[in-house]
A and B are shown apart, each in its own frame.
Chain A
């Protein structure tokens, strides 16, 4: 029953170590179980204790693509949160806080300050986190939700800690609920009930599950934010799913071990962030030269170097395009969101297996650490699996050549251990029979033949994956071109622009290599004004598009402060560009996190 009317955002702010995750998870899970669509974004720093964490959870009775623009409820777990963010709150919103410890300051008119006298409501001497539970009780009243829903969630969450802990938490939450009932005004629209319970996941969960669904049985990693969630999912599910998970000494070992396992015939993958990906690049070239299929995920964060480890950016496009020395074949794909990331994994594995080339996934912190709901019926964990031309049984007496120069360029791949198919794979240039060409003399004709053999494999690549298409009205004033994770926020911005009378459509690009040049040229030739949106400073995709197609956009929207775009950033940028004020808009980040 999507009415599109319910659109509620709560932000929870505090310091690392104050237990933001627990109330955040409980709120998200209660909403998801009601069938409401969730999109959550957590702004944090690379510290375990202290700093400032700001978790935004948006719940809608319609598809929730981004964390949105507005807040309805601010839950302050410390004074810092109150001081930083009170000015974000406008008339009609509520601010929940512990009135024992936090001085609320002066809000805008119409903001309801909901102070909770924690020490009066409960014995907080033993557990400082008790304010979070009291606040959750108050949240239930404000959202028009029955207390029993929270009670059930609380009982489930604390069940393992024993009856005493469960009862204590329930009674504390009830005290918060009761106090709110007597003292605070609930929001005018209570949280509705959706069609059916929704699943909740992060983008890293989705990438890992997509790998598992694709038949990955070997996963190696070196921990690196924001990719570590993939490792955690894999490790947690390793035994149940028969996936071997190995933590290695560095990302060089990760990539090389993955290629070793892939050469033995097991679908293998790894995930890292830009710095780790830099260490992996030589091995990615090895996969290209040896023609070993494997998948490397780069969850981008703000760079360069250590950069801003807990912030998002789309700054590694050219790193992926240029990963490793030399000229070789690869696939590079930038999924749009969690569900797309999930679906991309089996698709990419099928491609890399069929073409015997490395595959690179460009995710980013926004997708990978973002939490969202998904209709569980849309998560196909039994996708089609195509392992390409694999020889698994000994056949005939014909002399086997691993790199036989076939018409398609793809040479049937025998796995080590098979009788009658002994061969070497080498990082040195080699002939069809694997002999290194430098073992005789560096034969230029053989070198050319082998370069062309490998290149033939991807001649047809564009037809193997879906081409991009315009989403939205055909006859638009503006075409917004995005790639990867900007998909969701652009989708949210378009109806807002329409409300202001601006017709905007969207050309989202997922496949970076292959880039469907002709299709993109055709589609953009009809555009009245093309604006490229990306989360980096230099316009990496704009430069790539120009280098591949000659297309120069009419305008650019870029953000490189570490925080993702909010829908209104896009809206305002499009407006200022239509007004002729600028060609490059750099939206201002209002929320200081």
Chain B
């Protein structure tokens, strides 16, 4: 399947996932869930025919935030927790770019939680891929905002007593217009969700169950494989946010994956931004002040 998306005026050519292979090889642990996410995004972008140079991947810090180095596109590997804030600025300054934000649960829901809330409600056209492994891996295993109650880690040797954050209901409550969950163990399904998320105009979150094989033995592939159920089989109406929240709260024998909620036709921040109404992206409006503008601001002082 080749979906052509008009981006940056470049001619659509046939792309393969290999075209999206980055300069560096992933240094993730063998078996890490993040490999599935990388493969799924490479496949999605190839199938959608998005030119690598028209994509900007932005990440924070953490295992999964090394993503931009492994993916062939423009990339920004920013600060811990700040990917959404940086990506929002980059997108607003050049909304012709397809901006994909990657990171982990600690990065996005913990230290970056404030930006997660506000970027969602602003509905900036970003695709946010959170590789949720319910653990801090790069720091060798401490609880994260999504760790389950009772989970034993180096920072919780007697088991975590904190209620985990639910990324999906949070995103829906914060006004995100596309909210989904994927599983890195099913890259084909994940890729389908990614394509919908990238196509969606507005802020889209895909919370991706992406097991850490080294530090989280509680939530490994065998845990997910027997629980993951596709929403497509559950006859769910993605415009129903209440039903979406109920399904997103399920975390027992069944854990649903797929698109939980989508609000179509909501204006993005870029569409509402007054200075972007008449012209192209901001970067193409870098003119010095005109005589008229200059006189106007001086006269206002008189």
Question: Residues of A with Cβ closer than 8 Å to B?
Answer: 33, 197, 199-201, 205, 209, 212-213, 215, 217-218, 220, 237-244, 246, 248-250, 252-253, 256-268, 282-283, 286, 290, 374, 376, 379, 381-382, 385, 415-428, 433-436, 439
Contacts and interface: CB of A to CB of B under 8 A. Distances in A.
Given A218-B93, A238-B275, A439-B24, A422 B52 contact: yes
B298 A381 contact: yes
Given A426-B76, A439-B27, 20 more contacts: A209-B297, A212-B297, A217-B282, A218-B89, A241-B293, A244-B276, A249-B118, A253-B82, A253-B118, A264-B89, A382-B288, A385-B288, A417-B74, A418-B53, A419-B51, A422-B53, A424-B69, A434-B69, A436-B24, A436-B77
B92 A381 contact: no
Closest 10 CB pairs of A and B: A260-B89, A264-B93, A257-B89, A256-B85, A199-B301, A424-B75, A261-B93, A261-B89, A381-B294, A426-B77
Nearest to A216: B286
A568 B230 CA distance: 78
B272 to A, nearest CB: 11
A6 to B, nearest CB: 21
A279 to B, nearest CB: 11
Given A266-B282, A417-B74, A435-B69, A243 B275 contact: yes
13 contacts: A217-B282, A252-B85, A253-B115, A260-B76, A260-B86, A263-B76, A264-B282, A416-B90, A417-B56, A424-B74, A424-B76, A425-B75, A435-B24
B85 A248 contact: yes
Interface of B: 8, 10, 22-24, 27, 51-54, 56, 58, 61, 66, 68-69, 72-79, 82, 85-94, 96-97, 114-115, 117-118, 273-276, 282-283, 285-289, 293-294, 296-298, 301-302
Contacts of A199: 298, 301-302
B53 A439 contact: no
Contacts of A385: 288
A330 to B, nearest CB: 17
B86 A264 contact: no
Which one of A240, A417, A420, A425 has the greatest number of beta carbons of chain B within 10 Å?
Answer: A417
A537 B286 CA distance: 43
Contact of A416 (B51, B74, B276, B288): B74
Contacts of A426: 68-69, 75-77
B85 to A, nearest CB: 4
Contacts of B85: 248, 252-253, 256-257, 260
Contacts, number: 213
Contacts of A240: 293, 296
B90 A263 contact: yes
A184 B104 CA distance: 75
B82 A237 contact: no
Contacts of B51: 419
B127 to A, nearest CB: 15
A254 to B, nearest CB: 8
A244 B272 CA distance: 11
B302 to A, nearest CB: 6
Contacts of B88: 253, 257, 260
